[in-house]
Amino acid sequence: MASGTQTSAEYIQHHLTNLTYGQLPDGTWGLAHSAQEAKDMGFWAINVDSMAWAIGLGVLFCWSFGRVARNATAGVPDGMQNFVEMIVEFIEEITSNIFPYRNSMIAPMAFTIFVWVFLMNLMDLIPVDWIPLLAGASGVHFMKIVPTTDPNVTLGMALAVFVLILYFSVRQKGLGGFLGELAFHPFPKVLAPANLFLEGVTLLAKPISLGLRLFGNMYAGEMIFVLIAIMFSSGVVTFIGGSVLQWGWALFHVLIITLQAFIFSVLTVVYMAQAYDVEEEH
């Protein structure tokens, strides 16, 4: 919460600044001690907190779900096994309806994306001051715990999906077929330059919209939590109002974080299906 020694603007900026590692003004490499210093580090800087939380949650996902798979029984499943099987069956059904082709990688990929993005989004429900305060007590200047509020993470995931789109498009249609699809659709061949422009923009818009949609929704949700937290230090009335708003927004945000994970997963499957489509099927 914003205190008397910290303005609301400083409080917001602090909570929206990543723990960044990069080249300092003196030429050495280390962690940034201010938002401006982090900004000045440029392109090669690394948001350590986003990377650590994203990788850590990915490891947690692999360990916990792998443990369920190793201990799975054929009889009546326990709570965790039943929960995992429910998610697997749900994603598998959605994938089979969207992706009519044979590829054993698509359903597991959609399942992994859904759970991993959901876990990263779920960190948004932890009160905004808890972990940053613990980090500050241990000498860490900044700590953002929601990886999907970092565009580097969401666009990085979208870029991986884009690479898969290109790979499967070329594998299914050949390089000539893929380029021909871009140049000769939707208008006649004589308008190939216009086709290339329109189809190129459409192709590039897929990863950009995929990454920015997730980032925008999660960043806005985090900002609302930060603004609500400011209310706790403004008096008894605003403290009570902030408490009500925090619980109300948290309950609503459960739907948002689940929906955003689902959208990212489903759109990935849709893009994979489009990569398999041939020109005659458009």
CB half-sphere exposure, 117, CA atoms < 13 A: 31
| Residue indicated by tokens 């009546």 | 76
Residue 168, classed as helix, strand or coil, is helix
Catalytic residue among 47, 50, 169, 217: 217
Report which of 60, 43, 70 is spatially closest to residue 147, judged by C-alpha positions: 60
User: Active-site residue 209, yes or no?
Assistant: yes
Round to whole Å and give the CA distance between 275 and 245: 44
What is the DSSP code (8-state) at residue 237? H
Structure tokens that stand for 90 in this block: 């749900």
Q: Is 196 exposed, middle or buried (0-12, 13-18, 19+ CB in 10 A)?
A: middle
User: Active-site residue 97, yes or no?
Assistant: no
Hey, what amino acid is at 80? M
CB 29 within 8 A of CB 21: yes
Residue 47, classed as helix, strand or coil, is strand
Catalytic residue among 209, 234, 243, 265: 209
Round to whole Å and give the CA distance between 133 and 139: 10
User: Active-site residue 171, yes or no?
Assistant: no
Structure tokens that stand for 144 in this block: 């953002």
Structure tokens that stand for 227 in this block: 């603004």
Catalytic residue among 64, 103, 213, 234: 213
What is the DSSP code (8-state) at residue 129? T
Round to whole Å and give the CA distance between 277 and 99: 10
Round to whole Å and give the CA distance between 124 and 55: 16
Q: Report, as residue numbers or ranges, the catalytic residues.
A: 209, 213, 217
